[in-house]
Amino acid sequence: MRFGVISLVLCTCFYAPGSGRATPGTPSRGGLGTGRGKLLRMDGVMQLVDRRLAKLRGRYAHPVALRTTSGRKDKTLSPYFYVRGDKPRGVETLPLKSTSATVSIAGVMAHVRVKQVYRNTGRKAIEAIYVFPGSTRAAVHGMRMKIGKRVVEATIKERVKARRIYDRARRRGQRASLLSMERANVFTMRVANIMPGDTIAVELDYSELLEPVDGTYTFVYPTVVGPRYGGGANPRTSRWIANPYLRAGAKVPYKLGLKVHLRTPIGLKMVKSPSHKIKVQYESTRAANVRLTSPSGGNRDFVLRYRLAGGKIETGVMTYSQGGERFFLMMVEPPARVTPKQIPRREYIFVLDVSGSMGGFPLNTAKGLIKKLLGNLRATDYFNVVLFAGTSVVMAPKSLPVSQANLNRAINVINRQRGGGGTELLAALRNAYAVKPVAAKGISRSVVVITDGYVGVEAKTFRFIRKKLGHANCFAFGIGSSVNRALIEGMARAGMGAPFVVLSNRQAATVADRFRRYIQQPVLTDIRLSFSSSSVYDVVPRRPPDLLARRPLIVFGKYRGKGAGKVLVSGYTGAGAFKRTLALRGNAGSAHAPLRVLWARKWAANLMDQLAVLPGNRDLVRGVTNLGLTYNLLTRFTSFVAVDKRLVNRSGKVVAVKQPLPLPKGVSDGAVGGTSGRYWSPRRPPPVIHSPPSAGSAGPVDSRPRSADRAMPCSARRPIGGCQCQSNGGGSAPLLLLPLALWLVWRRRRACG
CATH number for position 371: 3.40.50.410
Domain boundary among 451, 486, 520: 520
Residues 149, 245 share a domain: yes
Among candidates 640, 716, 720, 689, which has minimal Cα distance to 204? 640
Report residue 613's pLDDT band, with 50, 70 and 90 as the boundaries: low
Domain-located, residue 473: yes
Residue 440 counted as domain residue = yes
Give the whole-angstrom CA distance, residue 174 versus residue 169. Answer: 5
Reply yes or no on whether the pLDDT at 422 is more than 70: no
Classify residue 540: in a domain, yes or no. no
* Residue 24 within any structural domain of the chain: no
Residue 257: inside a domain: yes
pLDDT at 233: 65
Which residues have a Cβ under 8 Å from the Cβ of 568 and sit 6 or more positions away? 528, 529, 530, 531, 532, 579, 580, 581
Rounded to an integer, the average pLDDT of 467-491 is 83
The confidence score (pLDDT) of residue 589 equals: 62
Element (H, E) at 480: none
Do 125 and 260 fall within a single domain? Answer: yes
Question: Residue 336 gets which letter from DSSP?
Answer: S
pLDDT higher than 90, residue 154? yes
Quick check: 347 pLDDT over 90?
yes
Counted domains in the chain: 2
- Confidence bin at 679 (pLDDT 50/70/90): very low
Q: DSSP states of 272-287 as a string?
A: E-SSS-EEEEEEETTE
Residues sharing a CB contact under 8 Å with residue 457, sequence separation 6 or more, in sequence order: 53, 56, 58, 60, 61, 426, 613
Q: How far is CA 259 from the centre of its chain?
A: 26
Lowest pLDDT segment from 174-178, 418-422, 660-664, 744-748: 418-422
Between CA 259 and CA 356 the distance in angstroms is 52
Phi and psi (nearest 5°) for 513? -70, -40
Q: Cα 76 to chain center, whole Å?
A: 27
Q: Is the pLDDT of residue 157 over 60?
A: yes
Q: How far apart are CA 606 and CA 726, in angstroms?
A: 37
pLDDT at residue 19 tops 70: no
Q: pLDDT at position 73, please?
A: 46
The band of 489, judged by pLDDT with boundaries at 50, 70 and 90, is: confident
pLDDT at 464 over 60: yes
Q: For residue 314, what pLDDT is reported?
A: 41
734: in domain: no
Q: How far apart are CA 309 and CA 268, in angstroms?
A: 6
How many Å separate Cα 542 from the centre of its chain? Answer: 19
Per-residue pLDDT band at 36 (split at 50, 70, 90):
very low
* Distance from C-alpha of 370 to C-alpha of 287, rounded to nearest angstrom: 45
pLDDT of 735: 57
State the average pLDDT over residues 423-427: 84
Provide the pLDDT confidence category of residue 608 given band limits of 50, 70 and 90: confident
DSSP designation for 429: H
Cα–chain center distance at 112? 20
Query: Does 301 share its domain with 374?
Result: no
| 143 and 202 within one domain | yes
Query: Which residues, 6 or more positions from 670, have their beta carbon under 8 angstroms from its beta carbon?
Result: 676, 678, 679
- Helices 595-611 + 618-630 axis angle, to 10: 160
- Both 162 and 268 in a single domain? yes
697 has a pLDDT exceeding 50: no
pLDDT of residue 259: 96
With vertex at residue 115, the alpha carbon angle to CA 112 and CA 118, rounded to the nearest 5 degrees, is 160
pLDDT at 58: 42
Distances (CA, A) of 16 to 586, 596, 611: 19, 15, 31
According to DSSP, the β-strands at 345-353 and 443-451 are parallel
Task: Tell me the range of 242-256, 323-337, 348-362 where mean pLDDT is highest.
Answer: 242-256
Task: State whether 207 and 353 are in the same domain.
Answer: no
Q: For residue 551, give the DSSP letter.
A: B
Asked whether the beta carbons of 245 and 663 are under 8 A apart, the reply is yes
Residue 150 is predicted with a pLDDT of 93
The pLDDT value recorded for residue 198 is 96
Distances (CA, A) of 275 to 20, 210, 300, 711: 39, 18, 8, 42
Q: Show the CA angle centred on residue 634, arms to residues 631 and 635, nearest 5°.
A: 105
Q: Which of 211-215, 442-446, 633-637 has the lowest mean pLDDT?
A: 211-215
The predicted pLDDT at position 693 comes to 36
Closest CA to 626 of 154, 22, 19: 22
What's the pLDDT band for 43 if we cut at 50, 70, 90? low
CA-to-CA separations, 600 to 186, 313, 494, 544, in angstroms, rounded:
19, 25, 16, 19
Percent of the chain with pLDDT over 90: 32
- Let me know whether 81 and 160 are in one domain: yes
Average pLDDT over residues 131-157: 94
| The domain boundary residue, chosen from 494, 520, 546 | 520
pTM metric for this prediction: 0.73
Length of the chain equals: 753
Position 75 scores a pLDDT of 52
Chain mean pLDDT for the chain: 77
Q: Same structural domain for residues 349 and 213?
A: no
Asked, for residue 708, whether it belongs to a domain, the answer is no
Average pLDDT over every residue of 385-393: 87
151 in the same domain as 279: yes
Report the pLDDT value the prediction gives residue 364, as an integer from 0 to 100: 85
Task: Provide, rounded to the nearest whole percent, the portion of the chain with pLDDT above 70.
Answer: 73
What would the pLDDT profile of 77-134 be if each residue is shown by its tens digit? 688 888 876 677 889 999 999 999 999 998 788 999 999 999 999 999 999 999 999 8
Alpha carbon of residue 675 to chain centroid: 30
User: Buried b vs exposed e over 678-715: b needs ≥16 C-beta within 10 Å?
Assistant: ebbebbbbbbbebeeeeeeeeebebebbebebeeeeee
Res 1: pLDDT:
52
Say how far apart CA 428 and CA 483 lie, in whole Å.
Answer: 19
The beta strand positions in 488-600, using DSSP E, are 500-502, 522-532, 535-540, 547-548, 553-560, 565-573, 576-584
**Do residues 451 and 474 make contact, with C-beta atoms less than 8 angstroms apart?**
no
pLDDT at residue number 24: 34
Cα 625 from Cα 181, distance rounded (Å): 13
Most confident of 122-136, 505-519, 593-607, 688-702: 122-136
pLDDT of residue 635: 96
Residues 297 and 165 in one domain: yes
**Side chain identity at 602, as an amino acid letter?**
K
Same domain as 179, residue 234: yes
pLDDT at 197 over 90: yes
DSSP conformation letters of 714-750:
GGGSPP-TT--PPP-SGGGHHHHHHHHHHHHHHHHHH
H/E element holding 639? strand 638-647
Q: How confident is the model at residue 453 (pLDDT cuts 50, 70, 90)?
A: confident
Please report which confidence band the pLDDT of residue 421 belongs to, taking 50, 70 and 90 as the band edges: low
User: Both 230 and 372 in a single domain?
Assistant: no
Assess if residue 174 is contained within a domain.
yes
Spatial distance between the Cα atoms of 388 and 349, rounded to a whole number of angstroms: 13
CATH code (residue 639): 2.60.40
- The domain of 300 spans 75-310+631-658
Can you give the pLDDT at residue 454?
72
Q: Which residue has the higher pLDDT, 269 or 673?
A: 269
Question: Are 390 and 421 contacting, i.e. CB atoms less than 8 angstroms apart?
Answer: yes
pLDDT at 232 > cutoff 70: no
